[in-house]
């Protein structure tokens, strides 16, 4: 289980020597259960991506704890191989000088998983097939890929280490609508195949309702409400109702 307990985070505001701080996260507490897809919904600037970075151990909270299987994610050994991520900006997520094969192999080499029984090309071919790409993509470079293809490569790289948790930070929001649907369908199938848990961070309630089991409504660094998807129409907070009404009107 991934647990976030009373987490707070602030940043210096107004220059290097300023004493002013902007509070971004305010006593956030939540949990993502084994095999669950937990959606974190909120507008831009609500603190969602900051929370993602803390979950991944890229930054540390000012207060509170984030634990993965009972161990603090600040400890690199606690998160290595257990949690991975797919970000919004697929163009900057892949080193432009690496082929698709080398990009996918990067995290496996870091974990020394590259010495498995299969040869690297066979491993990469399997991963590419799982994200709907054929083996010819192994030798391509990022600039030769469409947005949807690049994001599929990012997904293949993220699942290559078979993580227990996958953080998806606005992972479909930059894609065309038709490609979004394809990638969401892909994510659903991969979740079942690898028995992963997802933290699906987005401003798009429609995408979240499609893929998630529970939704956390996030506003100005705080949790407004948490609800299961099958109880979505019964949300209580005005903010959640506002987002839901937008979905219904589409």
Per-residue model confidence as pLDDT tens digits over 191-234: 999 999 999 999 888 899 999 999 999 999 999 999 999 988 88
Q: Does residue 94 sit within a domain?
A: yes
Q: Which of 127, 181, 177, 180 is nearest to 155 (CA)?
A: 127
Q: Is 172 domain-assigned?
A: no
Do the domain assignments include residue 105? yes
Element (H, E) at 207: helix 205-211
Is residue 109 a part of any domain in this protein? yes
Q: Is residue 149 part of a domain?
A: yes
DSSP assignment, residue 67? Answer: E
Q: Indicate if the pLDDT at residue 235 is higher than 90.
A: no
% of the chain residues with pLDDT over 70: 94
- The answer to the question of residue 127 being in a domain is yes
Whole-Å CA distances, 127 to 100, 122, 161, 228: 11, 9, 11, 31
CA 76 to chain centre: 18
Boundaries of domain holding 134: 83-162
**Predicted model pTM:** 0.89
Structure tokens at 115: 């010495």
Given this model, what pLDDT does residue 119 score?
65
User: pLDDT value at position 124?
Assistant: 92
Residue 50 lies in a domain: no
204 found inside a domain: no
Annotate 12-48 with DSSP letters as a single string: E-SSTT---EEEEEEEEEEEE-TT-EEEEE--TTSSH
* pLDDT digit string, tens, across residues 46-80: 889 999 999 999 999 999 999 998 899 988 888 88
Give the model's pLDDT for residue 117.
47
Cα-based distances in Å from 157 to 90, 151, 173: 12, 10, 19
Q: How many domains does the chain have?
A: 1
pLDDT at 180 over 50: yes
């Amino acid at each position: 289980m991934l647990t976030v307990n009373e987490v707070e985070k602030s940043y210096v505001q107004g220059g290097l020597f300023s004493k002013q701080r902007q509070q971004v996260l305010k006593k956030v507490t939540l949990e993502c259960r084994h095999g669950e897809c937990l959606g974190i919904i909120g507008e831009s600037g609500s603190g969602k991506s900051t929370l993602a970075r803390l979950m991944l151990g890229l930054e540390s909270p000012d207060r509170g704890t984030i634990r993965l299987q009972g161990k603090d994610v600040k400890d690199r050994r606690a998160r290595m191989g257990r949690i991975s991520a797919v970000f919004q900006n697929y163009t900057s997520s892949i080193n432009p000088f690496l082929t698709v094969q080398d990009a996918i192999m990067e995290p496996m080499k870091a974990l020394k998983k590259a010495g498995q029984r299969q040869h690297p090309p066979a491993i990469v071919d399997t991963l590419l097939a799982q994200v709907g790409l054929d083996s010819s993509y192994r030798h391509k470079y990022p600039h030769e890929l469409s947005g949807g293809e690049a994001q599929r490569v990012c997904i293949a790289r993220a699942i290559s280490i078979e993580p227990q948790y996958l953080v998806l930070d606005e992972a479909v929001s930059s894609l065309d609508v038709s490609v979004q649907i394809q990638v969401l369908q892909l994510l659903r199938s991969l979740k079942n195949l690898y028995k992963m848990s997802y933290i699906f961070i987005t401003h798009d309630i429609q995408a979240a309702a499609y893929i998630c089991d529970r939704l956390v409504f996030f506003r100005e660094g705080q949790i407004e409400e948490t609800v299961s998807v099958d109880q979505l129409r019964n949300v209580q907070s005005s903010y959640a109702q506002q987002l839901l009404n937008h979905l219904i009107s589409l």
